[in-house]
Amino acid sequence: MSKKRLIVSSVNDPDELLLWDSSISSVFSNVSNSTVTQTQLNCPISFNSLFRLLYGNNLEICSCHGILCFAIAGLYAFLWNPSLRRYNVLPPLENPEESDGSTSYVYSFGYDHFSNVYKVVAISHLHDTNKKNEVSVHSMGTGYWRRIHNFPYSRSMPRPGVFVSGTVNWLASDFSSSATFCDIVSLDLEKESYQQLSLPDFEKKSWTLGVFNDCLCIFANGVMFYEGIWN
């Protein structure tokens, strides 16, 4: 537990996003004390009022093994390792000059244990129900994106997938379905193939995916539950 870190965000008076780092062990060892030692992280990109003017609040952050993946306005992404103080801007998925602005991307991040490589997964987020959600994968060190099979559902949550045990997972459904969510879609980063996992028989309202004890879990209306089979 001592090696695991907790990164939280806050916004100061000039409306600038700040990131703070602390160890998980210090958080749990100070349960009776509200004071936890935090270190401010010096992010290579300044998320200030100018950033918000250009991109609004369109910023998503996901992580894997302490490396953060920032997605800006669904168009640009970069990886940042706070421990090594190094970052890597990913190549664009399409030429901005040729883009018609109708497509944005949901970026997720994970680790392929078999190939010993980190991978970024980008799913096209479309408002056109007649088009398929295309999926591209960027393997760190290659410098390019490559297409894999399309996302098996027409609608995914417009937020990063959750990485656990070599897979990236999303809540998903079809536009033709009246259900908020139909299944969990799990992408195996080694085989780059999908698997559909049935959802628990529980009221499907305000659900989000998470990780608990290296198992995939669901947070529902403030209640957390998980299935060991998702390990």
Q: What is the pLDDT of residues 121-170, one digit of tens each?
A: 999 876 556 667 889 999 998 989 999 999 988 765 667 899 999 999 99
Q: Could you tell me whether strands 146-148 and 135-139 are parallel, antiparallel, or unpaired per DSSP bridges? A: antiparallel
Question: What's the number of CA atoms in the CB half-sphere (13 Å) around residue 207?
Answer: 25
Higher local confidence (pLDDT), 216 or 14: 216
Q: Tell me the C-alpha distance between 106 and 61, whole Å.
A: 10
Q: What's the pLDDT tens digit per position in 50-89?
A: 555 555 567 788 889 889 898 887 778 889 888 888 889 8
Other residues' Cβ atoms within 10 Å of the Cβ of residue 210: 14
Q: What's the pLDDT tens digit per position in 97-112?
A: 445 556 778 899 999 9
Contacts 24+ apart (CB under 8 A), 71-74: 71/105, 71/106, 71/107, 71/160, 73/104, 74/104, 74/105, 74/106, 74/125
Q: Does residue 13 carry a pLDDT above 80?
A: no
For all residues of the chain together, what is the average pLDDT?
A: 76
The model carries a pTM of: 0.79
Strands, E assignment, the chain: 5-11, 17-23, 39-41, 59-64, 67-72, 76-81, 86-89, 104-112, 117-125, 135-139, 146-148, 155-156, 162-164, 167-173, 183-188, 193-198, 207-212, 215-220, 223-226
Q: Tell me the C-alpha distance between 222 and 171, whole Å.
A: 17
Q: What local confidence, expressed as pLDDT, does residue 188 receive?
A: 97
Beta bridge partners of 60: 71
Compute the average pLDDT of residues 169-198: 81
Residue written as tokens 């398929």? 132
The band of 213, judged by pLDDT with boundaries at 50, 70 and 90, is confident
Q: What local confidence, expressed as pLDDT, does residue 228 receive?
A: 43
Q: Does residue 207 carry a pLDDT above 90?
A: no
Q: What local confidence, expressed as pLDDT, does residue 180 receive?
A: 56
